[in-house]
Amino acid sequence: NAGVTQTPKFRILKIGQSMTLQCTQDMNHNYMYWYRQDPGMGLKLIYYSVGAGITDKGEVPNGYNVSRSTTEDFPLRLELAAPSQTSVYFCASSPTGVGTGELFFGEGSRLTVL
Amino acid sequence: QKEVEQNSGPLSVPEGAIASLNCTYSDRGSQSFFWYRQYSGKSPELIMFIYSNGDKEDGRFTAQLNKASQYVSLLIRDSQPSDSATYLCAVIKAGNMLTFGGGTRLMVKP
């Protein structure tokens, strides 16, 4: 079982470049989330989706965009990368939403912006 | 004031001892409380949840919740070196958003 798959695992960007972090899940979960985790910090919610075609902002959405055209895919777009976006990004999915805390995380994507 | 606060640690305990991890939260409207374990370089995994005041036990883990004091804790009995990880406290407040603390790094020494 693949679960939640994130690509790429590592990426170095120059300031001002753009890129897309891919996230795919094969569990038919409606709920999907993007979090970022800075060193020594907890996770902060960037964007989330409760189903195909529906997305909403989390705590720290500035500088990011998402789309959810299918149940499986939830890509995160970084426009005009800045050093402040250096972080580890986790995609997660859930069958029920965060109410049960049951989140299935991908392995993470480590992004460095120089 | 941070919404969910944890001592960053590291908390060092000898093998076989009880590890006590603490978390406070600021929103009195918070309803659900979770503990995640995160090994270095890995993604978080849910280990405990608690919704009501009191204690909840699951194997070597006990979660304790005191809503009046806005305090939730995790006790790990008979700590093992394999328990060495960062433990993240997370809270659902009004609005159905999961908010994480910064985590406490636990080191269990053989």
**What pLDDT shows up at residue B31?**
86
What pLDDT sits at residue A26?
95
In sequence order, what DSSP letters do the residues of A13-48 get, joined into one string?
A: E-TT--EEEEEEESS--SEEEEEEE-TT--EEEEEE
Question: What pLDDT sits at residue B53?
Answer: 94
Name the band, by pLDDT with cuts 50, 70 and 90, for residue A1: low
pLDDT band at A81 (very low <50, low <70, confident <90, very high): very high
Per-residue tokens: A67: 């789309």
Question: Length of chain B, please?
Answer: 110
> Looking at per-residue confidence, does A62 or B2 come out higher?
A62
Task: Say whether pLDDT at B1 is over 80.
Answer: no
Q: Quote the tokens at residue B7.
A: 């001592």
Could you give the 3-state DSSP secondary structure of residue A84? helix
Q: Which has more pLDDT, B9 or B108?
A: B108
* Beta carbons of B98 and A45 less than 8 Å apart: yes
Least CB–CB distance from A101: residue in B43, B49, B96: B49
Mean pLDDT of A26-43: 92
* Buried-state track A14-27, b at ≥16 Cβ within 10 A, e below 16: eeeeeeebebbbee
What is the model's pLDDT at position B95?
Answer: 63
Candidates A38, A93, A98: best to mutate against B (most CBs of B within 10 A) is A98
Q: Which residues of A31-67 are buried (b: 16+ CB within 10 A; e: fewer)?
A: bbbbbbbeeebbbbbbbbbeebeebeebebbeebebb
